Amino acid sequence: MGLRTGNRGALRVHPAVLRPAVGVAVVGCLAAVIAVLWNTPTVVHVWETTGDRTKLLAPLPRTRFRAGIRSAEASIVVDGHQYQQMAGFGASITDSSAYVLTHDMSRAQRAAVMTELFDPARGIGLNYLREPIGANDFSTADYTEDDVPAGLTDPSLAHFSIAHDLQDVVPVLKQALAINPKIRIVATPWSAPAWMKTNQSLIGGTLEPAYVGVYAEYLAKFVKTYAAHGIRITALTMQNEPDSSPSGYPGMALSAAQEAELAPALSHDLAAARLHTAILGFDSDWSDAVYAVKLLDSRAAFRYLAGTAFHCYAGDPDAQLSVEEAAPAKGIYETECSAYDAYPDFGTDLVNDTRTLVIDSIRDWSKTVLLWNLVLDQRFGPTNGGCVDCIPNVTINSSTGVATYNVGHYVLGEVSRFVQPGAYRIASTSPTGGLETVAFENPDDEVVLLVLNGAAHGRQFAVRWDGQAFTEAIPAMSVQVFTWPS
């Protein structure tokens, strides 16, 4: 009844029959497409850095998750359980770094290096910087933002000026921000102006009790002045390495009780200037984490602190665990670390720095990984009375302007290139025998897994996620990064 023959002999279908038939066919096709998509193995992208430098953040052939992989030499399990939210990765554009970038390179050479450092698409996308307030051990001179002749004071801060910073530091920061507007900045003082200190010198001494309020105004004014130049300071630490007083370059000791007194005054001045800048305490080595705990135990300071900051030069990152336990609501930040020329082996440094800073520090709750000098010349300078062989991320030959990328560049690139600001660390296991891991989930739901093989021989392993798995092999003394959609 429903079939009719047209005048050309073509077979025609009555509309009443056609509609359900087409509907069934469409549904069947959709079901087939969904089944194919559902069963299509997830693609995994892979990058590798090897200790022998034959591969440096080099892409490897893609792999895929598959069901039914049962055995492997080692097994890494990743799941979506979230821990701390990451803030970023980077280093310090010290006065010396800014000088080298400005004076030892051509404009084209500098543009190429800055693109490699900060561009998220064409480089490693560094997105967090630690900026000194005034002079430190990597400056071209001793200075603060409010220097007056010996014997004079300036409690009204009438002579406050960032004139020195405007020469090199501010222009370089603006160039970095133009390349990557998502860069965050934490600022850190090495010394108060000499006239505020007990010994009237930038080197040594401590803050005069009478100048706590003025020093708070000084730090807040620094943040406000940088903001006026288009540079937003995300966070402030109150003192670099307050548990020590260097004898050869600007610095000062500041006790936990003094930081506890400074914190509310600084918070008040920042709020009065309508500045939303977080305050971090401590900012020194893991070996003295008791200082950080003591500071967080202070009722006078606790409510004003966003967290505490740590350096890598003494102690171990697991010291951060005691701080996390004391104040789980407060952030932990790794803010300074430098390799030394005494340890020039790329492979050893790659393994040690990845293990300590990228894996252990982050698994022990750090929200950042920050190295020290971003750039120095071939003589590890200009220096200012401190370290004479601190290795920067990038060495610039002052005669030719040619850039050499050192191990720190690739250690940071392992995470800065793949882990987005706002990502969360998620759970991952580290099997025995030399394989160590840390994993993240980006805001766009991409998973990032970093695997370190610190052993002297290659390893095979399986990665398991959401009921699927893939297998991979990693060379000795190497790092692999995997990304896939969650």
Q: What's the pLDDT at 39?
A: 55
Residue ranges matching CATH 3.20.20.80 in the chain: 87-418
Q: What's the pLDDT at 71?
A: 66
C-alpha–C-alpha distance, residues 131 and 165, integer Å: 11
388-400 burial by CB neighbour count: b if 16+ within 10 A, else e?
eebbbbbbbebee
C-alpha–C-alpha distance, residues 426 and 270, integer Å: 34
Q: pLDDT of 32-82, one tens digit each? A: 444 344 457 899 999 999 999 999 999 999 999 998 777 667 899 999 999
Q: 265 φ, ψ to 5°?
A: -65, -40
Cβ atoms within 10 A of the Cβ of 112, count?
16
Q: In this structure, are residues 192 and 207 in contact, taking their beta carbons and an 8 Å threshold?
A: yes
Give the C-alpha distances (Å, rounded to integers) separating 278 from 125, 130, 330: 23, 13, 11
Q: pLDDT of 360-405, one tens digit each? A: 999 999 999 999 999 999 999 999 999 999 999 999 999 999 999 9
* Percentage above 90 pLDDT, the chain: 88
User: Does this model's pTM top 0.95?
Assistant: no
Average pLDDT over residues 78-94: 97
Q: pLDDT of 234-274, one tens digit each? A: 999 999 999 999 999 999 999 999 999 999 999 999 999 99
Residue 278: beta bridge partners?
235
Q: pLDDT of 190-234, one tens digit each? A: 999 999 999 999 999 999 999 999 999 999 999 999 999 999 999
C-alpha–C-alpha distance, residues 42 and 448, integer Å: 14
Q: What's the pLDDT at 30?
A: 52
Q: pLDDT of 118-134, one tens digit each? A: 999 999 999 999 999 99
Q: How far apart are the first and last CA of the chain?
A: 53
Q: Given a cut of 60, is residue 24 above it in pLDDT?
A: no
Q: Given a cut of 90, is residue 27 above it in pLDDT?
A: no
Radius of gyration of the chain (CA): 27
Residue ranges matching CATH 2.60.40.1180 in the chain: 41-83+427-485
Q: Does domain 41-83+427-485 have CATH number 2.60.40.1180?
A: yes
CA dihedral 116, 119, 125, 129 (to 10 degrees): 90
C-alpha–C-alpha distance, residues 35 and 18, integer Å: 25
Half-sphere exposure of 474 (CA within 13 A, CB side): 32
Residue 41 gets which letter from DSSP? P
Q: In this structure, are residues 207 and 252 in contact, taking their beta carbons and an 8 Å threshold?
A: yes
Q: pLDDT of 318-341, one tens digit each? A: 999 999 999 999 999 999 999 888
Q: Given a cut of 80, is residue 414 above it in pLDDT?
A: yes
Q: Is the peptide bond before 120 cis (omega within 30 degrees of 0)?
A: no
**What kind and span of H or E run contains 262?**
helix 256-272
Look at residue 78 and give its three-state secondary structure: strand
Q: Is 148 exposed, middle or buried (0-12, 13-18, 19+ CB in 10 A)?
A: middle
The superfamily CATH assigns to domain 87-418 is Glycosidases (3.20.20.80)
Confidence at 8, pLDDT banded by 50, 70, 90: very low
Q: Given a cut of 90, is residue 29 above it in pLDDT?
A: no
Q: Given a cut of 60, is residue 26 above it in pLDDT?
A: no
Q: Given a cut of 90, is residue 469 above it in pLDDT?
A: yes
AA letter at 62: R
Cβ atoms within 10 A of the Cβ of 256, count?
21
Residue 383 gets which letter from DSSP? -
Q: pLDDT of 160-190, one tens digit each? A: 999 999 999 999 999 999 999 999 999 999 9
Tokens of 111: 């543009």
Confidence at 11, pLDDT banded by 50, 70, 90: very low
C-alpha–C-alpha distance, residues 117 and 207, integer Å: 37
